[in-house]
A and B are shown apart, each in its own frame.
Chain A
Amino acid sequence: MEIRMRLTGICRGICGGICARVLGTALIGLAFLLIGGIADLGHWWTSQAAAQSGGSVRPPASANKWAPSRPGKISPQGGGDVQKGVGAGNLPKTTGPQQSQPRMWRDIRRGIQGKVSIPNQKAGYLIQSQGQMWRELRNTKVFKFGAWLLAGTVAVLFLFFIYRRRIPIDGGESGRTLERFNNLERFAHWLTATSFIILGLTGLAMLYGKAVLIPLIGKSGFASLMMLGKMAHNYLGFAFIVGIVLMAVIWLRQNLPDKYDIPWLLKGGGLITKGHPAARKFNFGQKMIFWSVVIIGGIISYTGVLLLFPESGSLIDMQSNQYWHAVLSLVMIAVIIAHIYIGSLGMKGAFQAMGSGHVDENWAKQHHSAWVDEVAGKDGKASAGGAAE
């Protein structure tokens, strides 16, 4: 029996070590990806400044691979070298060799604005070089960052589940329950959660759909799906905004720092080691999720609303908004995946908090002992008050 317990302990230690190393490596890798992306963003802004001051602006070398295929190739440097072949018959025959105009093309590359006869003056930009850089950033760095982040999150949670299994209720269920979240709190949570799940799935389809969905459902199927997906994404965003505002108003006070946070953090929330640190209604981990949703969700909402109105800013503003909207959404999806795991599969008794609103007393004592004391104190005072009356 003792040998078995020691072997179990050794196995858990090994699994814990592997989990910690995988998590550490994944976090370092993601940090490098994010730093790389931010460095590219910095390069992008620098190039914008260079363009405005008359410097050189060149698209990234690999930008052309994302450019749509054209029936005829016209080389600015070559002065109108029209490629013969498919589709070339529609081009005027006078586009033969012309004098090279490098100065004109350099100015166009720098973002010189021409005159147009339509109200939308942005159409006067023939080439926006930063747009090619942005597309390169989105289609490579952000694409890879999101894939690694989400796959890494799922992998770490899987390893954590193998190591810790489902966290049980110490002493089993008592049969007595406490009200943890009232109707309004659960309504705000589910309003935000349901809208975020649709927003997350449709957003992921926008970023990864070409690579993942088109091979599965074809181009026409993907087009139909994304017609609906884009509509849902655009309008459900407002439900998400209402949800996070409601949650912020309801839970802000209870998510301010308190004396239980540091000890909770030092003990790893009782998730890695044995023993459950005390916490009030929200422990440090839940507070982190709350602030992630409010702050990151707020920035995602702000940039999302701006993206709904492309005429509200310059092209580079829209590209910057899109970059941050995508990166922060991926971070938030990873946070919410972990939140869903620990609130359902990862911990026995946790889902009831948002399901029925009531939790078992033993669960509450195990994870939120200070909150149980507060509730018991209030009830005691109420009872005492009632008895005095």
Chain B
Amino acid sequence: MKAFLAGCVAAVAIAVVAALVLGGLGMSSAEVFQAAQSVRL
């Protein structure tokens, strides 16, 4: 049970870290389909 809970918590933690890192690099999920390269200068 503890291993299961630890697995769930770790999955969420890794997902949050990934979101923060990709968001910080300007590659967040919301941005990938409207990538900065497509924005008119």
Chain A residues with CB under 8 Å of chain B are 117-120, 123, 183, 186-195, 198, 230-232, 234-239, 242-243, 308-311, 354-357
Residues in chain B within 8 A of chain A (CB atoms): 1-4, 6-8, 10-12, 14-19, 22, 27, 29, 32-33, 35, 37-41
Q: By the criterion CB–CB under 8 Å, are A183 and B32 in contact?
A: no
- A-B CB contacts (within 8 Å), total count: 90
> Which residues of the partner chain A approach B17 to less than 8 Å between Cβ atoms?
238
Given A118-B41, A120-B35, A311-B37; A236-B15 close (CB under 8 Å): yes
Quick check: B29 and A230 within 8 Å, CB to CB? yes
B7 near A194 with CB under 8 A, answer yes
Cross-chain contact B6 with A190 (CB below 8 angstroms): yes
User: How far is the CB of B21 from the nearest CB of chain A, in Å?
Assistant: 9
A370 to chain B, nearest CB (A): 25
Chain B residue numbers with a CB within 8 Å of A183 are 2-3
CB distance from A301 to the nearest CB of B (A): 13
The one of A189, A235, A310 that contacts B33, using a Cβ cutoff of 8 Å: A310
Residues of A near B41 (CB, < 8 A) are: 118-119
Bound CA span A242–B18, Å: 12
B39 touches A239 (CB 8 A): no
Taking chain B's interface residues, is the majority helix, strand, or loop, or is none over half, making it mixed?
helix
Q: Check B11–A355 contact: CB distance below 8 A.
A: no
Least Cβ–Cβ distance between A233 and chain B, in angstroms:
9
B29 pairs with A190, CB closer than 8 A? no
Contact partner of A239 (CB less than 8 A), chosen from B14, B33, B40, is B14
Kindly state the separation between the CA atoms of A231 and B41 in the bound complex, as whole angstroms: 28
CB distance from B38 to the nearest CB of A (A): 4
B18 to chain A, nearest CB (A): 4
B23 shortest CB reach to chain A, Å: 10
- Decide yes or no: A232 and B15 within 8 Å by CB, A118-B39, A189-B7 being known contacts: yes
From B3, B6, B16, B37, contact of A357 by CB (8 A): B3
- Give bound CA distance, A192 to B3, whole Å: 12
A-B contact pairs, 28 of them (CB 8 A): A118-B39, A118-B40, A119-B41, A120-B35, A186-B4, A187-B7, A189-B7, A190-B4, A191-B10, A194-B4, A235-B15, A235-B19, A236-B14, A237-B18, A238-B14, A238-B15, A238-B18, A239-B12, A239-B14, A242-B10, A308-B22, A308-B29, A310-B33, A310-B35, A311-B35, A355-B1, A355-B4, A357-B3
Smallest CB–CB gap between A125 and chain B, Å? Answer: 13
A311-B35, A355-B1 known; A234 and B29 CB under 8 Å? yes
Query: Contact check: which of A192, A235, A308, A310 meets B16 at CB < 8 Å?
Result: A235
> Across the interface, which residues of A come within 8 angstroms of B15, CB to CB?
195, 232, 235-236, 238-239
How far does the alpha carbon of A119 sit from the alpha carbon of B39 in the complex, in Å?
A: 8
A315 to B11 CA separation, bound complex (whole angstroms): 31
- Which residues of A have CB within 8 Å of B7? 186-194, 243
